[in-house]
Amino acid sequence: MNENSCSFHNEKGLRDGQVESVCAAYPPPYDKDTSALRALRGIPISELKNHGILRALTAEANGWEPRVVSAEVLRAQEEWEAVDSILTETGSQASADQPGQLISFNEALQHFQTVDLSSFKKRIQPTIRRTGLAALRHCLFGPPKLHQGLREERDLVLTIAQCGLDSQDPVHGRVLQTIYKKLTGSKFDCALHGDHWEDLGFQGANPATDLRGAGFLALLHLLYLVMDSKTLLMAQEIFRLSRHHIQQFPFCLMSVNITRIAIQALREECLSRECNRQQKVIPVVNSFYAATFLRLAHVWRTQQKTIADSGFVLKDLEVLAKKSPRRLLKTLEIYLAGVSKGQASLLGAQKCFGLQAPHSKDLTFTGVCDLPPHSSEGTWLI
């Protein structure tokens, strides 16, 4: 062994001796606990449960009482525990009745297809009853009858029109919430009753009171309008027009009146030819509603109509809609094609509506100044 290695061992021994002397001079703290731990090291694990020290520790733990928890801590704990009740949408479908979740038209329609509507179905009159010459003329010159296989679908539409708004039904509430969010751009739920519904064009704080003559079908039509990307742009444009400082009108109330026109057109078999051609009823009624609303908005804007003209516009519009439903549907088709290209607007749709010159024989709307002095027809039809 060389001198370096000897010196290293000597130094190491010196350091170890110094450490031992220091430890001996200053005994470690918590000597009692240290000795207890040393005693436990030699005991087999299987025998630890029988050891007196562990029993004492267990007894002390069982007798431990927490200090008083503040109200803020309790509230935070409740909020954290509430997290467990939230269903994540990853890998699972959210509950259909979950508040705040938007609802599609098909989901809402499926709800009515599965619930018992027998009591409402008893009230419907699928077709208009005609007698005498009116029945003969309709038979000879009127539209064709609806195919037998489509009559159940027609009856469903008319049955939904008999259903009212039930604020206790989660699906009904989601339909209202979806309409409100889509039209206003809000990300938050709103109360089912309140003044905010007047901002959308209902007459009062409760939308249910404005559905007379159209029932829940009026809300389904609005839902259809706002849940399709193309018709949503149209709905938002009409909604902005309804809030014009001069030409304003109650948007939702106007929509309810147009749904009523669609119901009458269906019952009078004005839509039967188109339904037979497409072998569908609900999509035809929806498109007819949207096309009629589009026509009204175009006339309202281009002819500078105001709330005083509402009754006249709706009556004339009903005549046109029943007389030329196919033309209205074609107009909607052209308009939506323009929307997809970013070219359509209510002001620039004259070619869509065939209003190319004053000689057009489509429809002449009666102005408020053209009526007799004491006429009172300028009122809402609902």
Q: Residue 350: pLDDT above 60? A: no
Q: What is the pLDDT of residue 375?
A: 37
pLDDT in tens, 173-186: 999 999 999 999 99
Does the residue 86 lie in any domain? no
274 lies in some domain: yes
Does residue 14 lie in a domain region? no
CA atoms within 13 A on the CB side of 104: 5
Q: Which two tokens stand for residue 212?
A: 């007379």
Q: How many CA atoms lie within 13 A of 344 on its CB side?
A: 23
> How many domains are contained in the chain?
1
Measured distance CA(377)–CA(246) in Å, rounded: 20
- pLDDT confidence bin for 342, thresholds 50/70/90: confident
pLDDT surpasses 90 at 32:
no
Q: Is the pLDDT of residue 278 over 90?
A: yes
Asked whether residue 363 is domain-assigned, the answer is: no
Domain that holds residue 155: 105-341
Q: Does 59 fall in a domain?
A: no
Residue 340's pLDDT is 75
Identity of residue 128 = I
Residue at 26 is within a domain: no
In a domain, 116, yes or no: yes
- Domain contains 298: yes
- According to the per-residue pLDDT averaged within each range, which of 44-48, 82-86, 227-231, 244-248 is highest? 244-248
